[in-house]
Amino acid sequence: MRIDFCFLFLRLTYWLYLHKLPTVMSLSLQHSSAKSVTILPFLSKINTRYEVILASGSPRRKELLSLMGIVNFRVLVSSFAEDFDKKTFRSSSEYCAATAKKKLEYVVADYTTQRTDLKKPVIIIAADTVVDVDDMTLEKPADKDDSFRMIKMLSGRSHFVHTAVSIYAESESPEPQPPTSRTVFNSKTVSFVETSRVQFASLSDADIAAYAASGEGLDKAGSYGVQGLGGQLVAALDGCYFNVMGLPLHRLSSHLAQLLTEETS
């Protein structure tokens, strides 16, 4: 009888599993988003029907944009001097946002004057990254001595990395146009700032001097690259890793998806 009871118990458990599974799956589906939160469903459209411009000469941002699956893009570096007075801004993130917007403004103007393809809408992406420690904004170091000074300042402490992104996106006008006329595009600009928190290890002067001498950080905000030798300086990271590299992939993908969804709705 004991064996029969165990057998019946197992059968009952299995029956409950089978009959509750559809309910669990139904509940999971209820939590899924009706709208795309990434550009994955739009990649073919972006790569074939849009001209994509990266308003940055950063090798990291070029690499990251490619990692998103955007393959047909070209670089148009902003001519903005990036000479805002930091003292006029309330925070590093505000300064960063203003710089990204101004970079975008310059590239949109330059692109408009040299535009050759009048049939394809364009997406232009500009970005700026700064390091924020004690409400002090750190950008690229002036030289290796300045690199040493910055890393020394960050050693054993946490800091914030802000990346501001500004997007100019065109969509084809829904109004019918004569076959011979220039395509009329509607346009929209979206901006956001993503912030990550980075904790540096307590570094010796030998550690700092060796990294500064490598020169890796000379073209990077805060004078380090998390994706290279500088990754050894980082003890912990809270937030988007790619944001620290210079382009927050999910957030950028989400905003682009929203723009493309609005175009088709």
Question: Taking the alpha carbons of 91, 97, 196, 75 in that order, is the dihedral positive or negative?
Answer: negative
Which position among 128, 146, 207, 238 bears the catalytic label? Answer: 128
User: 78, 72 in Cβ contact below 8 A?
Assistant: no
Active-site annotation holds for 128: yes
CA distance readout (Å), 152 to 118, 197, 226, 234: 51, 17, 16, 13
Q: How far is C-alpha 2 from the geometric centre of its chain's CA atoms?
A: 62
For every residue of 147-187, which 3-state class applies, written as one string?
HHHHHHHHCCCEEEEEEEEEEEEEEECCCCCCCCCCCCEEE
Count Cα atoms within 13 angstroms, Cβ side, for 146. Answer: 13
User: 168, 123 in Cβ contact below 8 A?
Assistant: yes
Task: With H, G, I as helix, E, B as strand and everything else as coil, classify residue 191.
Answer: strand
Task: With H, G, I as helix, E, B as strand and everything else as coil, classify residue 126.
Answer: strand
- Buried b / exposed e over 25-62, threshold 16 CB at 10 Å, is eeeeeeeeeeebebbeebeeebeeebbbbbbbebebbb
Of 99, 101, 79, 80, nearest to 88 by C-alpha is 99
Secondary structure letter of residue 243 according to DSSP: H
Question: Taking the alpha carbons of 146, 230, 93, 111 in that order, is the dihedral positive or negative?
Answer: positive
Active-site residue numbers?
128
